[in-house]
Amino acid sequence: MILCGNTAIIWVVCTHSSLRTPMYFFLCNLAFLEICYTTVVVPLMLSNIWGAPKPIPLAGCGAQMFFFVTLGSTDCFLLAIMAYDRYVAICHPLHYTLIMTQKLCAQMVACAVGLALVLSLQLTSLIFTLPFCGHRREINHFLCDVPPVLRLACADIRVHQAVLYVVGILVLTVPFLLICVSYVFIASAILRIRSAEGRRRAFSTCSSHLTVVLLQYRFCAVVYLRPQSTSLVDEDRQFALVYTFVTPPPQPADIHPQKQGCQRCPEKGHQ
């Protein structure tokens, strides 16, 4: 379902020229991230469910963690970028096409991927310098996520935990605060719309995106930002299922920002 749904989104956006707008460009990138998420996590998980449990090499565990953290971080950054896109669409409709150019959209996505790569590479390389305990190194999880791997360490992990908190703040807290600021301005602009139909369309534009944001950031924050001593293994695994498989891509907005407010001015005779 994940592969078919997100592939269909990408195919529709790429084959319809009318959908080549910033909003659909970001949606297409988000769908591609979901496909990569599935590729990184699901095959090994299904092979262990349907067949005999297969151990993953230490290098394979590190690679899975690196790609998982990279894709998850990019996802969080992209949700913040989409919030900015909707802020411009609703609060500055006449300047939307001038602000959200193709070059700017590509640069924002490239910056999101680059920052995610740098943060995940530093975090993963730091974690896998630790010695791990026991003859059988088992994690009570369906993927090599950061918290369960840290529990296997035979050394002091306070520095590693501090680095995880810093990365979590940069990936989760900062984008979430930017999203909140964007939606404060969006809500203020929506409340100034006189027509009920206009307010309904504007709210529907943001509802699906807000749903995804709340699901993604809430469960990720519980797993990565709470103290290690208070975390529960089973609870972390259940939360990981939500932000890995359950979170849907936000639906496209039912809005045409470049057309809003472009009414003819009778006094000056121009638009």
Question: Cα–Cα distance between 39 and 33 in angstroms, integer?
Answer: 10
Structure tokens at 94: 């006449």
pLDDT value at position 34? 87
Residue type, 127: I
CA distances for 251 relative to 65, 67, 96, 101, 205, angstroms: 28, 25, 19, 21, 8
Structure tokens at 271: 């638009």
Per the rule left: phi > 0, alpha: psi between -120 and 50, beta: everything else, 269 is left
Sorted by where each starts, the structural domains of the chain and their CATH numbers stand as 2-133+141-253 (1.20.1070.10)
pLDDT along the chain (271 residues), means of 10: 88 87 90 88 82 80 92 92 90 90 94 96 92 72 84 86 91 92 89 76 74 79 70 66 65 46 41 39
pLDDT value at position 260? 42
Q: Are 61 and 149 in contact (CB under 8 A)?
A: yes
Question: What letter does residue 129 receive in the DSSP assignment?
Answer: T
pLDDT value at position 201? 73
Q: Are 43 and 143 in contact (CB under 8 A)?
A: no
Q: DSSP labels for 192-221? A: T--SHHHHHHHHHHHHHHHHHHHHHHHHHH
Span 71-122, pLDDT tens digits: 989 999 999 999 999 899 888 888 998 999 999 999 999 999 999 999 999 9
Question: What letter does residue 267 receive in the DSSP assignment?
Answer: T
pLDDT value at position 266? 40
